Amino acid sequence: MKRLICIACDHAGYELKEKLKVKLSSAGEEIKDFGTNSPEPVDYPDYVHPLAEYVEENNNTVGILLCGSANGMAMAANRHEGIRAAICWNKEIASLARRHNDANILCVPARFVSDPEAYEITEAFLNSSFEGGRHEKRVKKINPSAEKAVK
């Protein structure tokens, strides 16, 4: 099943973003690239906010953000009410972020994971679904308006 995956990065995540795009596209995924488009230094919020707004407005999409530590990108993305961005450095954390927290944006610390690890993290995130149940009420408490974004 083809789905839309939004992706963005700063200069530290550029190389990995390009590799992930190829891998995801070859697996049949549709990619919407929000930049950056070179390894030249940039300000990550300039790329995070358009992606987060898009994911927030389009419930059936997920996002992937890549930067050196993933911290700044996660902080910026989580300023958006309908976003639950999770920093994930292994596949177990990525799966739990989706299953228990209904994360809709994956933040990968490009300087701290290998390419194969990044692929595994991304696959685990994309192939996991929110379990609901006991987790649903917790997710709703993250932000009072998050209730509208819970699927």
What's the N-to-C CA distance of the chain in angstroms?
A: 19
What is the b/e burial string over 46-79, where b = at least 16 CB atoms within 10 angstroms of the residue's CB?
A: ebbbebbebbbeeeebbbbbbbbebebbbebbbe
CB 12 within 8 A of CB 104: no
CA distance 144 to 151: 15
User: Is 100 a residue of the active site?
Assistant: yes
| Neighbour tally for 109: CB within 10 Å | 22
Hey, what are 119's tokens?
Answer: 């692929």
Instruction: Give the SS3 label for residue 65.
Output: strand
Please identify which of the residues 6, 9, 49, 67 carries the catalytic annotation: 67
Catalytic residues: 67, 100
